[in-house]
Amino acid sequence: MRISRMAAVAAAAALALSMAACGDNGDDTGGENPDVVESPTFEAGTTMAELSEAGKLVVGTKFDQPGFGLQGLDGTPAGFDVEIAKLIAGELGIAADDIEYVEARSAVREELLEQDRVDIVVATYTINPTRKERIDFAGPYYVAGQHIMVRADDDSITGPESFEAGDKKVCSVQGSTPAENIQEYLANAGEQLVLFDIYDKCVDALRGGQVDAVTTDNVILLGFIASNEGEFKLTGEQFTEEPYGIGVKKGDDAFRDFINDTLEKIYENGAYAQAWESTAGEFDDNTPTGPAVDRY
């Protein structure tokens, strides 16, 4: 087992313990097991009616990102995205235990929805026009921004411009927006850009010195910094906006509306803030208020 995975698993276990210590049930609206609406009714033939009737929701999420979606010792992921998925399930009358999680690596998220292998994708998933050609997005429910992470003792990279000289290597993930965005700063993308399927592998490559930096969304990087104490730091400023949406099958407007309604409800009733505070809030205490959803 690689060190970063062990650290990640330890972080997940610590988080699970702290959640248990807070008391994870009763009258809370977020946290580990949010409220489940009893026998909700939906118009026949809608995705909501089908899912509610089946009593099961299949969620595509990340398995290697501390704070957002990180697989724990029991195989179940934990994090802000997972909490958002549980809150949506709760509105469908589906308990957290009846969610099935499928790993949604960056490059396969559209495919998972197109092939009906998941019902929703909640996976640090930036809303953009290219992706909207294949799927639809509810949300945004959070706005992140691309940033750069380096080894804690490295002061030679100060922002994306530091890659213009062509001598530094940067790692990101296949099929991600940061992997696209960074290219305009690279003198020689073929040499300088190292791509893996998951961020965990970039973190290992940075630790091992095979690359000089990792780039993706700030909140993902903060999760890696927090779970690998003293090893890494952010450098420079955020240089893009990454609005996170919940992916649904293309054309399922009623389901998208339902998820947007649910987001507005959880912004309002405090469950959203609680979901943040019990997960990514462990290393980022800027609890978001919930961005306006885009009902396009």
Residues in contact with ligand GLU by CB under 6 A are 106, 123-126, 173, 176-178, 216-217, 220, 242
Closest approach of Cβ 87 to ligand GLU, in Å? 20
Nearer to ligand GLU, 65 or 262 (CB): 65
Q: Which two tokens stand for residue 121?
A: 């994708």
Are the CB atoms for 259 and 92 separated by under 8 Å? Answer: no
Report the sign of the C-alpha dihedral through residues 223, 60, 94, 10, in that order: negative
CA count, 13 A, side-chain hemisphere, 281: 17
Nearer to ligand GLU, 65 or 274 (CB): 65
Q: Is the link from the previous residue into 140 a cis peptide, with omega within 30 of 0?
A: yes
Are the CB atoms for 185 and 164 separated by under 8 Å? Answer: yes
Nearer to ligand GLU, 124 or 162 (CB): 124
Closest approach of Cβ 10 to ligand GLU, in Å? 23
Helix (H, G, I), strand (E, B) or coil at 214: strand
Nearer to ligand GLU, 60 or 90 (CB): 60
Residue 281 carries which DSSP code? Answer: G
Task: For residues 51 and 249, give the distance between their C-alpha atoms in angstroms, rounded to a whole number.
Answer: 14
Closest approach of Cβ 52 to ligand GLU, in Å? 28
Nearer to ligand GLU, 216 or 279 (CB): 216
Closest approach of Cβ 116 to ligand GLU, in Å? 21
Closest approach of Cβ 188 to ligand GLU, in Å? 23
Closest approach of Cβ 154 to ligand GLU, in Å? 22
Closest approach of Cβ 263 to ligand GLU, in Å? 17
Task: For residues 169 and 146, give the distance between their C-alpha atoms in angstroms, rounded to a whole number.
Answer: 17
Nearer to ligand GLU, 36 or 225 (CB): 225
Nearer to ligand GLU, 90 or 178 (CB): 178
Task: For residues 223 and 15, give the distance between their C-alpha atoms in angstroms, rounded to a whole number.
Answer: 12
Closest approach of Cβ 94 to ligand GLU, in Å? 24
CA 98 vs. chain centroid, Å, equals: 20
User: Which segments within the chain are labelled E, that is strand?
Assistant: 57-61, 64-65, 69-71, 77-78, 99-103, 120-121, 135-144, 146-151, 170-173, 193-196, 213-217, 232-235, 242-249
Q: Which two tokens stand for residue 147?
A: 């940033």
Nearer to ligand GLU, 48 or 246 (CB): 246
Distance set, CA 98 to CA 38, 52, 130, 185, 224 (Å): 14, 11, 32, 45, 29
